[in-house]
């Protein structure tokens, strides 16, 4: 059913070399509208490189990337963001002294070109749109289950809630595609389970399209509609969780007990 929807992202024969290191080889995949796609593979497989290519931080050595029908291969990070691709980073980036709501508002102002300093110093342009922006920011905080914490300084939040705030901020840029690079890194098991449920909800309720790197195989299998497995810079397998679980290539590459297997991915 997912496959009948419009293709949002098309990665076509993309390769990336760093000097003599081939980080990615002939990588091709599609993501369709409203899809929750997992990206898994061992350390060094090329997952973060894929994210850097999709967000315009790196340029491919070969191949092309199409997004929403446009060739975005040569887009800068800013242009890629404007085109509708938002990402979170493995290391949390937040304004610790600002409230959760203000942290989200910053993203909202970036999207509308009113900028960070206007947000903080309440310029005339800010005041004109403040009500609407606050309303929107509250909506994204609620979406990420942060309603009770909206007025807390970001630095007072638990690690898990800070990560949720980062996602709320990425959502506030109104992306068509959200890239989540190990969003549960450093979270405890309960926080991780809660986050995955929230991400699932955002996709279900708002039709968000998500590409997620997550090393816990059990979570990925539960969460994602489809999964891409990268190994040494190549797509080793792709398919539904069921197909990945039964893929001879995946089984061959990751021999071991199911438990050990789960830890082989990251
Ligand atoms: N900026 C870079 N410069 C040089 N080598 C890099 C760079 N980024 C990634 N690599 C190399 O590319 C390969 C893939 O890395 P990466 O995409 O970070 O893998 P993953 O996220 O799956 O662990 C690794 O061999 C890594 O050392
Ligand atoms: Mg990585």
Residue with CA nearest ligand 1 atom 9 = 49
Top CATH class of 93-175 equals alpha beta
Domain ranges of the chain: 1-68+176-266, 93-175
Q: Which ligand 1 atom is the nearest neighbour of the CA of 52? A: 17
Residue 132 is predicted with a pLDDT of: 84
**Beta strand extents in the chain (DSSP E only):** 7-18, 21-32, 36-40, 62-67, 70-71, 85-88, 177-181, 209-213, 226-231, 234-239
Residue 122 is predicted with a pLDDT of: 58
Residue with CA nearest ligand 1 atom 16 = 46
Cα of 170 vs centre of ligand 1, distance in Å, is 24
d(CA 235, CA 205): 30
Nearest alpha carbon to residue 38 among 215, 173, 212: 212
What is the dihedral angle through the alpha carbons of 155, 160, 163, 169, rounded to the nearest 10 degrees? -80
Cα of 165 vs centre of ligand 1, distance in Å, is 27
Residue with CA nearest ligand 1 atom 8 = 49
Top CATH class of 1-68+176-266 equals alpha beta
Residue with CA nearest ligand 1 atom 3 = 18
In the chain (266 residues long), the average pLDDT of successive 10-residue segments reads 78 96 96 95 93 96 97 95 86 84 83 53 64 89 94 93 91 92 88 91 91 88 94 94 91 59 48
d(CA 157, CA 148): 11
Cα of 108 vs centre of ligand 2, distance in Å, is 27
* Tens of pLDDT, residues 205-229: 888 999 999 888 888 999 999 999 9
- Of all ligands present, the nearest one to the C-alpha of 44 is 1
Domains 1-68+176-266 and 93-175 share a fold: yes
Cα of 167 vs centre of ligand 1, distance in Å, is 24
Residue listed under structure tokens 């242009």? 79
d(CA 211, CA 183): 11
Nearest alpha carbon to residue 85 among 240, 168, 234, 209: 209
Q: Which of 19, 23, 50, 180 has the most ligand 1 atoms within 8 A of CB, as the residue to mutate?
A: 23
Q: Which of 15, 16, 18 has the most ligand 1 atoms within 8 A of CB, as the residue to mutate?
A: 18
d(CA 215, CA 227): 12
Nearest alpha carbon to residue 16 among 83, 85, 73: 73
pTM recorded for the entire structure: 0.86
Beta carbons within 10 angstroms of residue 195's beta carbon: 24
Residue 225 is predicted with a pLDDT of: 95
């Amino acid at each position: 059913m997912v496959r009948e929807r419009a293709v949002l992202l098309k990665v076509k024969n993309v390769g990336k070399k760093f000097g003599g290191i081939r980080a990615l080889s002939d990588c091709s995949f599609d993501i369709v509208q409203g899809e929750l796609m997992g990206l898994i593979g061992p350390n060094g497989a090329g997952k973060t490189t894929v994210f850097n290519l999709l967000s315009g931080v790196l340029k491919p050595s070969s191949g092309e990337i199409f997004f929403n029908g446009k060739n975005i291969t040569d887009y800068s990070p800013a242009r890629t963001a404007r085109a509708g691709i938002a990402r979170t980073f493995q290391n949390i980036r937040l304004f610790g002294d600002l409230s959760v709501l203000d942290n989200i508002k910053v993203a909202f102002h970036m999207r509308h070109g009113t900028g960070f300093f206007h947000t903080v110093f309440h310029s005339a342009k800010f005041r004109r749109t403040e009500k609407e922006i606050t309303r929107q920011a509250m909506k994204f905080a609620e979406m990420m289950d942060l309603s009770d914490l909206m007025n807390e300084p970001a630095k007072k939040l638990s690690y898990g809630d800070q990560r949720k705030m980062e996602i709320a901020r990425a959502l506030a840029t109104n992306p068509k595609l959200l890239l989540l690079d190990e969003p549960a890194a450093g979270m405890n098991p309960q926080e991780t389970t809660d986050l995955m449920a929230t991400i699932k909800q955002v996709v279900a309720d708002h039709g968000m399209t998500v590409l997620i790197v997550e090393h816990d195989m059990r979570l990925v299998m539960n969460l994602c509609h489809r999964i891409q497995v990268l190994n040494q810079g190549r797509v080793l397998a792709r398919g539904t969780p069921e197909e990945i679980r039964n893929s001879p290539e995946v089984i061959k590459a990751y021999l071991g007990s199911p438990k050990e297997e789960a830890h082989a991915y990251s």
